[in-house]
C-alpha cells in the first residue's frame, strides 16, 4: 500500500465514541484505583452513549460478532442462564428482592453487551493512541495504593495526625480491580515496546503489583497469583487440553460444593483458623468455612430450583454454629458455587457450568491473547470463590472492562509481537475492518 493510501486509511471521521469515550474511560480507570466501585460506571457510560451511536449509525449488526463463530455456544449459554434467572422469580420465597436483583443484572448485561459492541467501532488510530495510556494509569493506581498501604491512611488526609484509616475491604477491592486491569496492561506493553524495553517494563509492572498484593490483606489475591502462575505454565505445556481439563474440574467442584462444605468445616476449620496465611493474621478462612457449612445445608432444602436470587440477604434463620461466625445473617455466601446452589439450585449450577465450559472453549488461538483472557477468568474465579458475591456490579464491570480492553488490543495490534511501523499492511487492513 502506498503512503498516501495508508494515511487516508488511518485518518477517519471522528465520531462521538472516538472523541469522548477513550478519555472518559481513562479517567474512570484512574479513579477506580482509589475508588474501586467507580469502575462500575464504565459499562454504563459506554453503553448509554453507545445506544445513541448505534441508533444513529445503524451498527446493530455488530451483535453477531459477539455471538457468532466460536462465540455462538457461549452466547447461547448466557441466554439460557438469563432466561432461567428470570424464571426463578416465579418460585422464590423473596419475590421483591429477586425481581430487583434480576432487573439490575439485566441492565448490567445489556449495557455490557453494548459496550463490547462499541469497542469494535473504535478505529485503529484512536485505539492505538489510547491504549498505551492504560498501563500508565494502572501503574499509577498500583503506586498510589502501595503508598497508602505503607502509610496506613488515605492520601487525602494530609495531616499526619489524621485518625482516618483504610478499610481492608476497600484495599482488597482496589487490588482486585488492579489485578484485572494489569492483564491487558501487560499485553499492551508487549505490543507497544520492543524486546528488552518491553520485558523490563513488564518486570517493573509485575513486581510493583506483587508488592501491593503482599502489603494488602487480600489472601484471595495471593492465591490468584499462585493459580495464574501454575496455570500459565500448564497452559503453555498442554495447550487447549488444559482448558478442557480446567472446565471439567471446575464443574465437578461446583456440583460437589454443598456436599464437601460441611465435612470441610468440621475437620479443617480449626487448622485453618490457626494457619499463618488464612487465620492467625486476621484472615477469615475459618469464618468462610462456617458460612459455607450453613449455606450448604440450607441450600439442600430446595436443591433443584433453589430459593431465588438474593436469597442469602433475606434468609434470617441460617443455622450457624457460632464458633467463627457469630451472626446468622449474611449478604452473600462468599463462594459462587454455593451461591448458585442456594439461589438457583442444581439447574442454575448446571447452566453456569455450561457457560464456563463454553467460555473456555471460545478462547482465541493466539497464545498471548488466549492466556490473557484465561488470566482474567482465573482472577474472577478466585475472587468469586473466596471473596465477593456473584452479583456485585463493580466486580462484574471490572471483568467487562478487562475484556473490552483485550478486544481493543486484538483489533489494534493484530500481531502483539510486531509494532505498527513493521506491519503497515496489516494495520491498514484492520483500519478497513473498522470502517475506513
Under 8 Å CB-to-CB from 252, ≥6 apart: which residues? none
Distance CA 427, CA 6 (A): 9
Distance CA 129, CA 419 (A): 13
The mean pLDDT value for 395-404 works out to 88
Dihedral of the alpha carbons of 224, 227, 228, 230, in degrees to the nearest 10 = 160
How high is the pLDDT of residue 371? 87
Which of the four pLDDT bands, split at 50, 70 and 90, describes residue 363? confident
Of 77, 34, 118, 44, residue with least CA distance to 393? 44
Distance CA 16, CA 276 (A): 52
**Bigger pLDDT: 365 or 360?**
360
How high is the pLDDT of residue 269? 72
This prediction's pTM: 0.84
Which of the four pLDDT bands, split at 50, 70 and 90, describes residue 200? very high
Lookup: cell for 170: 476497600
How high is the pLDDT of residue 70? 66
The mean pLDDT value for 90-116 works out to 86
Which of the four pLDDT bands, split at 50, 70 and 90, describes residue 91? confident
For the ranges 96-105, 135-144, 253-262, 412-421, which has the lowest average pLDDT?
Answer: 412-421
Which of the four pLDDT bands, split at 50, 70 and 90, describes residue 434? very low
For the ranges 22-36, 105-119, 202-216, 358-372, which has the lowest average pLDDT?
Answer: 22-36
Model confidence at 355: pLDDT above 70? yes
For the ranges 257-266, 276-285, 397-406, which has the lowest average pLDDT?
Answer: 276-285
How high is the pLDDT of residue 276? 60
The mean pLDDT value for 146-160 works out to 66
How high is the pLDDT of residue 27? 74
Taking a C-beta distance cutoff of 8 angstroms, is the pair 105, 85 a contact?
yes
DSSP state letter for 278? T
How high is the pLDDT of residue 423? 40
How high is the pLDDT of residue 68? 61
DSSP state letter for 389? -
Q: How high is the mean pLDDT of the chain?
A: 77
261-270 LR contacts (CB < 8 Å, sep 24+): 261/289, 261/292, 261/293, 261/295, 261/296, 261/338, 262/293, 262/296, 262/297, 264/289, 264/292, 264/293, 265/289, 265/290, 265/292, 265/293, 265/321, 266/293, 269/323, 269/324
How high is the pLDDT of residue 382? 92
Which of the four pLDDT bands, split at 50, 70 and 90, describes residue 74? confident
How high is the pLDDT of residue 421? 37
The mean pLDDT value for 331-340 works out to 91
Instruction: Report the first-to-last Cα separation within the chain, whole angstroms.
Output: 14
How high is the pLDDT of residue 54? 56
Give how far Cα 216 sits from Cα of 37, 136, 148, 219, Å.
18, 21, 10, 8
DSSP state letter for 275? S
Amino acid at each position: 500500500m502506498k503512503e498516501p493510501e495508508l494515511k487516508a486509511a488511518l485518518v477517519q471521521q471522528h465520531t462521538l465514541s472516538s472523541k469522548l469515550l477513550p478519555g472518559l474511560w481513562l479517567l474512570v480507570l484512574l479513579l477506580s484505583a482509589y475508588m474501586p466501585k467507580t469502575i462500575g460506571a464504565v459499562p454504563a457510560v459506554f453503553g448509554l452513549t453507545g445506544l445513541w451511536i448505534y441508533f444513529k449509525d445503524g451498527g446493530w449488526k455488530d451483535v453477531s460478532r459477539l455471538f457468532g463463530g466460536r462465540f455462538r455456544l457461549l452466547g447461547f449459554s448466557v441466554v439460557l442462564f438469563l432466561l432461567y434467572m428470570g424464571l426463578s422469580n416465579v418460585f422464590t420465597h423473596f419475590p421483591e428482592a429477586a425481581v430487583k436483583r434480576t432487573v439490575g443484572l439485566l441492565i448490567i448485561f445489556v449495557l455490557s453487551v453494548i459496550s463490547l459492541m462499541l469497542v469494535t467501532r473504535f478505529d485503529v488510530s484512536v485505539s492505538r493512541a489510547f491504549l498505551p495510556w492504560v498501563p500508565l494509569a494502572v501503574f499509577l493506581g498500583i503506586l498510589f495504593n502501595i503508598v497508602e498501604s505503607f502509610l496506613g491512611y488515605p492520601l487525602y488526609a494530609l495531616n499526619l495526625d489524621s485518625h482516618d484509616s483504610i478499610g481492608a475491604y476497600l484495599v482488597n477491592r482496589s487490588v482486585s480491580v488492579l489485578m484485572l486491569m494489569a492483564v491487558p496492561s501487560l499485553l499492551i506493553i508487549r505490543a507497544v515496546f520492543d524486546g528488552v524495553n518491553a520485558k523490563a517494563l513488564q518486570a517493573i509492572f509485575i513486581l510493583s503489583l506483587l508488592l501491593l498484593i503482599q502489603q494488602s490483606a487480600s489472601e484471595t489475591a495471593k492465591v490468584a497469583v499462585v493459580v495464574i502462575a501454575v496455570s500459565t505454565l500448564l497452559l503453555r505445556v498442554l495447550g487447549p487440553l488444559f482448558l478442557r481439563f480446567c472446565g471439567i474440574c471446575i464443574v465437578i467442584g461446583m456440583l460437589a460444593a454443598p456436599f464437601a462444605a460441611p465435612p470441610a468445616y468440621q475437620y479443617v476449620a480449626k487448622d485453618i483458623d490457626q494457619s499463618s496465611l488464612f487465620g492467625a493474621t486476621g484472615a477469615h478462612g475459618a469464618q468462610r468455612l462456617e458460612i459455607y457449612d450453613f449455606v450448604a445445608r440450607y441450600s439442600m432444602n430446595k436443591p433443584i430450583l433453589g430459593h431465588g436470587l438474593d436469597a442469602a440477604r433475606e434468609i434470617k434463620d441460617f443455622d450457624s454454629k457460632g464458633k467463627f461466625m457469630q451472626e446468622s445473617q449474611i449478604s452473600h455466601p462468599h463462594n459462587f458455587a454455593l451461591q448458585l446452589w442456594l439461589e438457583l439450585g442444581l439447574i442454575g449450577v448446571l447452566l453456569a457450568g455450561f457457560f464456563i465450559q463454553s467460555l473456555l472453549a471460545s478462547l482465541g488461538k493466539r497464545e498471548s491473547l488466549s492466556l490473557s483472557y484465561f488470566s482474567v477468568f482465573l482472577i474472577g474465579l478466585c475472587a468469586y470463590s473466596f471473596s465477593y458475591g456473584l452479583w456485585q456490579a463493580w466486580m462484574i464491570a471490572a471483568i467487562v472492562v478487562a475484556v473490552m480492553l483485550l478486544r481493543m488490543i486484538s483489533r489494534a495490534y493484530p500481531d502483539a509481537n510486531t509494532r505498527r511501523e513493521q506491519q503497515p499492511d496489516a494495520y491498514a487492513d484492520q483500519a478497513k475492518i473498522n470502517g475506513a
